[in-house]
Structure formats: structure tokens, C-alpha cells
Chain A
Amino acid sequence: MAAADQIRQGAESSPTTERRKLRGRNFPVLAFIFLVSVVLVGVAGPLILPLDAFSGTLMTALKRPVWMEGGSWSYPLGTDQLGRDILSRLIVGARITVIIAIAGVFVSAIVGTSIGLLAGYLGGLIDTILMRITDAMLAIPMLVLGLALAAATGAGVVNVIFVTTAVTWAFFARLVRGEVLHIRELDYIKAAEIAGFPQRRILLRHILPNVFTPLLVMASLQIGNTIILASSLSFLGLGVPEPLPEWGLMLANSRDYITFAPHLVVMPAIALGLMVLSCNVIGDWLRDRFDPELDHLR
């Protein structure tokens, strides 16, 4: 990728400072650390769980976090209305969120990229049909379409991944098609066609690797989108089902307590907010770094 990057920038290297100016901000260390720790915590999950995330007693219900009056180190972030440890629930929730985000974006990228490659390379009627479908998908607000699909498929982690894929593949399809239209006119594709390689080989070997950079940027920006969509569905009761502590679901279940136990709402909200923010910051950085011209991905 460094090679493609250098070529876009012009192979003659400019002074480092100039290049930094061109590429914008520095590497977002904080966002990166936060993301990595969420992923690690999500993966390690059960191994480091301080307490049971799924059961509690009413005796321990609605305890406050440790830094507030009446809090204790046994429940560092307090407990919810059923006495379950909030920290433990956030950790299990991190796992669900990470799985949905990565799987959702991955499947969506594969579906969208395949459609975009076919539409861009084959052109003609196939292109027209695929792109009109894509336009139609993009024209419907994400949440509305997601709600309709989620209502039809029912709750569940796999269903949420399906719904986020169905709602976001169009972004990838449109991006990839545009890139393919550009790349397929380049001489090295013509050279490969003259060399008599079959279309499949040209697509996979010469075109696909060259759309990888914008694809990566798009994927990192879509992670934040996917997390919000999944949490919104859960919040509305159409996403991840009880008793799984998905962050959006935690928000929904605790909103009745917002006046006298605000930490129930604040904790998952902070987790969710920081997660999405980190993904977007890293996505922005990737875009600036790899191609200052990719502004349309915003």
C-alpha cells in the first residue's frame, strides 16, 4: 500500500515536513489506544470479567460508582437496577459490539465490493441495474431501512449483522465502482487485456488490489456507522436481545432511572461515544494519509 500511496503522491519524495502538512494531522494515538484496548477486552472477555455480568441480587441494585458517595471498589462502575455489575456488563458488551462492527463491515465490504467490481468492470446493462439498486438503497435513510429489515428478521446478533450489511453495502458498491471506472482505463489494465488474460484474472489480480486503499479507508469510517446503527436497533428493541448487555440495549433499559441513578445511562453512553469517535478519528486519519483527494468518503 505504501507503494500505491507513493505513486499517488508522485514518486519524487518531497521534504518530510511538507509531506506532513499535505497529509494533515498526526497519528491519533489516544483513539488507537482506546480501540485496541476495547478489542483486547472484548477478546479476553470472560477471562478478565470481575463479576457475573448476567445475574445480581436486588440487595446490590443501583450501587453508585466508586468515586461517588456510597460507592465501593467491589463494583467500580456501580450496579444496575437488577444489581448486575456495570463494568462486567460493559466488557461483555464490548465483545458484542466488536463482533458486530467487524463482522458487519467485513460482510458489507465483501458484498459491496463484489457488486461494485462487477458493475464497474462489466458496464452496460449490468452496471445500470446494479447502480440503480445502489442509488435506491442510499436514498432510504439508514435507520428506517434498518428498522424495517430488523422488524422482519427479528432480534439476534446474526440478524443484526445481516441488517447492517444490507443497509451499508451500497456505500462500498458505489465507491468501488467509481474506482474501477478510473482504473480500468489505465494502460496497465489495457496491457493485461492485450496479454489475453481472462476477465476474472484481470479483476482479481489487477483491479481489486488497486481499489484496496480507498476500501480500507471506507471500511474504517463505516465501523463507526455500523456500531451506531446496531446500537440504535438494540435501543429500539429490534437488535441484540436481552439479557445480552449490548451497549445500546443497556442505554434503553436504564433510561427510566436517569433521574436518580444517572450512571446507568452515562457509562454505556460514554463507552459507545468513545468507541464511535475513535473509529471515526482513525478513519479520518487513514483517509488523509492515504489520499487527500478522498474527501467524498466523509
Chain B
Amino acid sequence: MTTESMSRPLIEVDRLYTEISAGGRTFDVLRGVSFHLNVGERLGIVGESGSGKSMTALSIMRLLPRAASIRSGRILFNGQDISSISAQDLAPIRGSAIGMVFQDPMTSLNPLLKIERQLTDGMEYHRGLTHADARRRALELLERVKVPRAAQVLASYPHQLSGGMRQRVAIAMALSCRPKLLIADEPTTALDVTVQAEVIALLQELTAQEETSVIFISHSLDLVAEYCDRVCVMYAGRIVESASTGQLVQTPRHPYTNDLIDAVPDIDAEQITRFRAIGGQPPQPGALPNGCPYHPRCARAEGICREREPLMEDSGRAVACWFSNHSSKEAGNNVG
């Protein structure tokens, strides 16, 4: 990872609005999401269920459910806007430049095809390999994702493998065509904690080798902090804070980020205290409160928070909060 390649953006999302229609109503699930990702960089997107983090990934991949569609905004991939190009033009980009790992390894592999078919298909189709070559590469891939007895796994059906194994196979599949961008949508949520750590370590190792950029989506700030260079925190369809991992964890500026950090139980704490849960529910898309969408749950909310929604203020640190000038840890005492 040279500094030069690090500073070249691979993907730039610019004021992305994605809407969904249900029951005759249409509302935005993404409300102007903007971020960029440099070559070789690992970006984490954190938020609660319904915050729009998966919708962001699906919008980039153009895999939105039928009821949803991109209303406006641009998604530049290597300088090309992929938010509006035709499916025919999109197919080769998706196939060779983007890979995706899903949450549930139960459903991310076709139950009726052997692992060998699923791994070699893409390589034969996109890279024109013969089956023998593709198979050799598949074996290599399985070994790289640390699957024991790779030859035997190739001849298996998905249901014969454990969840951890299936997720490794899914990672191998996502990486089989050497993508420039890997989107991992909660890739460890369905796994045991011990397997989680292994899968994260694996992702870290593999993506570092190939300089793959990663968008890592998770509801766990902990995992993201461990793995990513930079973190975007999403709330109610917007990014509310974006910073490098170190800054974000040490000096969170947005009260929501702060609350998220407080909600993680600290296993090393000398004194065992009850961890603090965030009260209330995240708002439903289409039923956002006036003003800042976080104000009903925010301990520091004041008059202005109920009236006007703060916009992303990008001066070094990007935070969408009326009180973002202060680190919220101190601000809690000074302002509140």
C-alpha cells in the first residue's frame, strides 16, 4: 500500500438518494449519502438495523429490491458513473471488479450445485479459463481462505459444510475474479464468535495482499474499529459522522457515535458496570421526526435540534450535529 495508491479514489458516492415505495407511499431510505473510498482502503459503515447501511451496499451493486430505486445521486466507480448505466454495461463491472460477501452463508451458496461448479463458473465465464485451470485456481483459493482438505470440499454440496466453512467458500467466490472492491455485508453476524475472529483475520490478510478496497458493513462498532481504516456512522438514512477509526473511537463528535461506543461492554474494565443501552427505537424511514432525527434519543438535544436538521459539516472531521465543535465527551459537561 503506497501512499500514492491510497489517495486515488476507487469509488465516490455523491449525494445518493434511494427511495422505496410501500403501501402507496414513497419515502427515502437513503437521504443524501456521500462518501469516498480510496484504492486499498478499508471503510466501515456502522449503524443500527434500518439505518440504511445495507441499502447503501445494495445501491452500489444495483441489487435493490423491486420496490426500491435510486432517485438521484452519482456513484463513480473508477471515474465512471454506475448509478444509471444499463444492466448490460454493468454486468462486466460487477463480475470482474466487485465482489460481495453476504451475511448468511446458509443462503449465499446455491444448495443444488457442488462447490466446484460455483467456484469455477465465474472464472470460466469472465476470465475464459478452461475448467482444469479454473479448478486449479479454485483449489488455490480454498487453500488461501484456509479451508482444510480443499479437494474434498470442492466435491461437496453446501449443506455438507459448517457455517464457517461456507463463509470461507463465499469469500473465496467473491475474490475469485480478483475484484478491486469487496463489499462485506455483516459477513460475521451469522457465525460463532470464535469463527468471527478467524474470518475477520482472513479478510484482513487477503485484502491486504491484493490491495483490494473493502466496504465493511456491520452493526458492531467493535468489529469495524478492529478491521477498518475509516468509519462512517449511519443514522436514519444519512451518514452522521465520518472519521478515521482512531479519531472516531477516541474522540467521537456525534452523540450517536458516543452512545454507540458506550453501549459496548468493556470486558477489561476494573469495575464491572452496567453498560449503557441507547433508549428508544431508531425512527422508521418515512416517519422521521422533525429536526435532527436523533434528537428523541439524544441526551444533549436542545431547541434547535427539534427544529432543524444539522447538515454534514466537513471541516477536517465530518459530523452532522449542531454541537459538533466540541468532542461530545467534553461537550456533555460544557453545553448540557
Residues of A within 8 A of B (CB): 3-4, 6-7, 11, 123, 185-188, 190-198, 205-206, 209-210
Contact = CB atoms under 8 A, between A and B. Distances in A.
Nearest to B123: A195
B121 A195 contact: yes
B125 A3 contact: no
Nearest to A11: B159
15 contacts: A3-B111, A3-B159, A11-B159, A187-B104, A190-B63, A191-B109, A194-B63, A194-B99, A195-B94, A195-B95, A195-B125, A196-B96, A197-B125, A210-B110, A210-B111
A194 B111 contact: no
A4 B99 contact: no
A205 B94 CA distance: 19
Contacts of A190: 61, 63, 100, 102
Contacts of B61: 190, 194
B115 to A, nearest CB: 12
B71 interface: no
A127 to B, nearest CB: 10
B112 A209 contact: yes
B122 interface: yes
Contacts of A187: 102-104, 107-108
B112 A194 contact: no
Contacts of B173: 191, 195
Contacts of B106: 7
B65 interface: yes
Interface in B85-101: 91-96, 98-100
Given A4-B112, A191-B108, A206-B110, A185 B65 contact: yes
Contacts of A7: 106, 111, 158-159
A11 B98 CA distance: 31
A205 B125 CA distance: 13
B207 to A, nearest CB: 17
Interface of chain A, main secondary structure = helix
Contacts of A197: 91, 95, 121-122, 125
B60 to A, nearest CB: 11
Nearest to A209: B112
A185 B64 CA distance: 10
**B interface, size bucket:** 35 or more
A195 B98 CA distance: 8
Most chain B CB within a 10 A radius of its CB, from A186, A192, A195:
A195
Contact of B157 (A3, A196, A209): A3
A196 B91 contact: yes
Given A187-B107, A191-B108, A197-B121, 14 more contacts: A4-B111, A187-B103, A187-B104, A191-B109, A191-B170, A194-B98, A194-B99, A195-B94, A195-B126, A195-B177, A196-B91, A196-B93, A197-B95, A210-B110
Interface string B286-326: 00000000000000000000000000000000000000000
Contact of A188 (B65, B98, B107, B177): B107
A194 B181 CA distance: 12
Q: Top 4 closest A-B pairs, CB basis?
A: A196-B95, A187-B108, A187-B102, A196-B91
Interface string B109-133: 1111100000001100110000000
B66 interface: yes
Contacts of A196: 91-96, 122, 125-126
Nearest to B126: A196
Nearest to B66: A123
Contacts of B170: 191
Contacts of B66: 123
A50 B102 CA distance: 65
A3 B109 CA distance: 13
B47 to A, nearest CB: 20
Given A194-B99, A195-B121, A188 B159 contact: no
Contacts of B92: 196
A6 B111 CA distance: 10
A21 to B, nearest CB: 22
A71 to B, nearest CB: 55
A22 B104 CA distance: 26
Nearest to A208: B112
A210 B94 contact: no
Contacts of B111: 3-4, 7, 210
Nearest to A185: B65
Contacts of B174: 191
A19 to B, nearest CB: 15
Contacts of B99: 194
Given A3-B159, A195-B95, A210 B112 contact: yes
Nearest to A188: B110
Interface in B143-165: 157-160
Contacts of B96: 196
Contacts of B158: 7
A195 B95 CA distance: 4
B159 to A, nearest CB: 5
B159 A6 contact: yes
B114 to A, nearest CB: 10
Contacts of A4: 111-112
A105 to B, nearest CB: 23
B107 A194 contact: no
Nearest to B97: A196
A194 B159 contact: no
A237 B209 CA distance: 76
A195 B92 CA distance: 8
B91 A198 contact: yes
Interface in B163-214: 170, 173-174, 177
Most chain A CB within a 10 A radius of its CB, from B65, B108, B112, B122:
B112
A7 B166 CA distance: 14
